[in-house]
Structure 1
Amino acid sequence: KNSVIVRKFSIVERGKQDIKNYLIPLEVIARYYVAGSFYERNRDKYEYGQRLEQPVIEFTTKFEKYDRLLDEKEAMEIGGITKEEMEEIKEAVLKIDEIIAGNIKGLIHVDGKKEFAMDGERNIVVVDTFGTPDEDRFWDEKMYNDGKFIELSKEFVRAYYKRNGYYEKLKEARKLGNEEPPIPPLPDSMANEVSKLYVELYEKLTGKKCEC
């Protein structure tokens, strides 16, 4: 049976190689297709939706005010992890995603985020959730093969806020160092669409009918 283990970890802004039992202050993103912020940063190199020849693993900060992209060297410094521990984390990410990709039908696993901690013996532990539309991006496989990108993730919501102008206001506030504007609530019609999307994805991921 699957089980959930509840553990408490210390929260630190920067890890150290001589401490234990702490949440590594990094987010680890594995990308298999060109999408999202990766596409925004690499428009001159790739086409949107292009499959990457090799997975690209990226790192961002977790506890800074805004997620900041890091190179591997700075990620190791902030995370307080050795080169060997970094390789173990990357290997774990790829193994988890291999399991996800091998157990979904009609979907493409585009990218996904993972988080890790060090336990009391300084073993690397996977924490938080993964394989859900909040942490991972999925596309409808049939539509992708027809040249269309049907977002089955929270990107669907993000796209709405880009269309209504909120995203630009948010970027401008961050650029100027101003207080972030409040997030406007989703209209009922949009909330219903999001609910349908999550139900559809649940059924595709599990192969079960949602009793909801």
Structure 2
Amino acid sequence: MEAIQETNFQLPNQTAFYKGKVRDVYTTPTKIIMVATDRLSAFDVVLPRAIPFKGQVLNQIAAKFLKATKEVVPNWLLETPDPNVSIGLNCQAFPVEMVIRGYLAGHAWREYKSGKRTICGIPLPEGLKENDKLPQPIITPTTKAHEGHDEDISREEILKQRLVSEEDYVMLENYTFELYNKGTEIALENGLILVDTKYEFGKAGGKIYLIDEIHTPDSSRYFYADTYRENQEKGLKQKQLSKEFVREWLIENGFQGKDGQAIPEMTDEKVQEISDRYIELYEKVTGEVFHRRNYQDAIKNIEQNILKSIKDDESR
């Protein structure tokens, strides 16, 4: 099954290369060139097989929503010269990720179910069920780990450790609430509930920008709006649009990224199923038909599209 596992370009004026969990990131003095590969990660572990079209799905959803929210918050994106590539401003990333939750789901539910009633310093009421709507959206930041697991961290600890200045952190909080509100509006237009999501921010020229991806199934969780209330009242599972189905499959097969645990076999059928789910996610989240890229000479075409973009930029 064809998929983009990795890239290894040497671009003009390239100053650095960073291989993230799912993205290959090339840096020049002023730009970040981000290639969304088809690698799949869960529980902060890169799984052994790449998923066809996954990178294209993430890149195109992120580009759509970055453009849709640029009036709310300035962002890093300049252009998308290839279905798997975004080029933007080279920002210095803040070392925290801003996670915002409107519902008790995923990691937050697992923490609550274990008996915790405070997450990232924020108290939660007793008596909540999985996927219940929270009294109001809460921000539960995490540290941003290059390797290993991201860790929950409180606002107070971020400021105490001076990871972010108080002035900047207030801005990050405000931007996070504004983006979540806008994302919620867009989701409802497509019959969805934006359950939770994460945002990353950076600075360039003293200005804060939204960076990386936004409102993708890898960074966000969606429920179907029309069945949400009935499912909650009946105690049924919510139909989700997110990467949670991958995590659930891994958990069912004894893997949560912990030492000594083996990743379950990813058969061709499982890879195809995950690919189909990502395409379904794209079409439901964006309201648009997904057009699959041609994988023949895909790596070569990605490189050529990047080089053309760089050359066109230099000639302007």
Q: TM-score, normalised by structure 1?
A: 0.80
Match for residue 205 of structure 1 among 267, 280, 285: 285
Instruction: Tell me how far apart the structure 2 counterparts of residues 83 and 159 of structure 1 sit (CA, whole Å).
Output: 37
Residue matched to 2:245: 156
- How many angstroms apart in 1 are the aligned matches of 2:264 and 2:239? 24
Name the SS of the counterpart of 1:69 in structure 2.
Answer: coil
CA deviation digits over 1:51-85, x for unaligned, max 9?
01111101111126321111112223456322221
Match of 2:105 in 1: 35
Q: Name the CA distance, whole Å, in 2 between partners of 1:61 and 1:162.
A: 23
CA distance in 2, matches of 1:124, 1:77: 21
Change (3 A) 1:96 1:187: same
Give 2:31's aligned residue: none
Identity %: 31
Q: Which residue of 2 aligns with 1:60?
A: 142
Give the partner amino acid of 2:97: E
Q: Distance in 2 between matches of 1:28 and 1:37?
A: 14
- Which residue is 2:155 aligned to? 72
Name the CA shift for 1:78/1:7 in 2 (closer, same or farther; >3 Å).
Answer: farther
Unaligned 5+ runs, structure 2: 1-63, 68-77, 80-86, 116-125, 232-236, 293-316
For 1:126, the equivalent position in structure 2 comes to 210
**Matching residue within 83, 86, 90 for 2:173:** 90
Q: Is the 8 A contact 1:33 1:111 kept in 2?
A: yes
Deviation digits for residues 33-56 of structure 1, max 9, x if unmatched? 000111122235321011011111
Q: Which amino acid aligns with 2:169?
A: M
CA RMSD of aligned residues (A): 2.2
Pick aligned residue for 2:222 from 116, 119, 138: 138
**CA shift digits 1:67-104 (9 cap, x unpaired):** 11111122234563222211110111111121211112
What are structure 1's unaligned runs of at least 5 residues?
10-21, 174-179
User: Is the CA contact 2:255–2:262 (under 8 Å) kept in the aligned structure 1?
Assistant: no
Q: Is the 8 A contact 2:254 2:261 kept in 1?
A: no
Pairing 1:49–2:131 present? yes
The amino acid across from 2:204 in the alignment is D
The answer (yes or no) to whether the contact 1:60–1:75 under 8 Å persists in 2 is no
1:109 aligns with 2:189: no
Give the match's secondary structure for 2:278: helix
Q: Is the 8 A contact 1:24 1:79 kept in 2?
A: no
Length, aligned pairs only: 190
**Corresponding letter in the other structure for 1:73:** E
Q: Which range moves more in the overlay, 91-100 or 64-73?
A: 64-73
Instruction: Answer with 1 or 2: which has the greater Rg.
Output: 2
Q: Is the 8 A contact 2:194 2:222 kept in 1?
A: yes
What is the rounded CA distance, in whole Å, between the counterparts of 1:61 and 1:185 in structure 2? Answer: 30
**Contact preservation (8 Å) 2:195, 2:223:** yes
TM (normalized to structure 2)?
0.55
- What do the CA deviations read for 1:146-173 (whole angstroms, capped 9, x no partner)? 3141121111101100001122xx33x2
* 1:77 to 1:183, Cα distance in 2 relative to 1, 3 A: farther
Distance in 1 of aligned mates of 2:100 and 2:282: 21
Displacement of 1:203 after TM fit?
Answer: 1.4
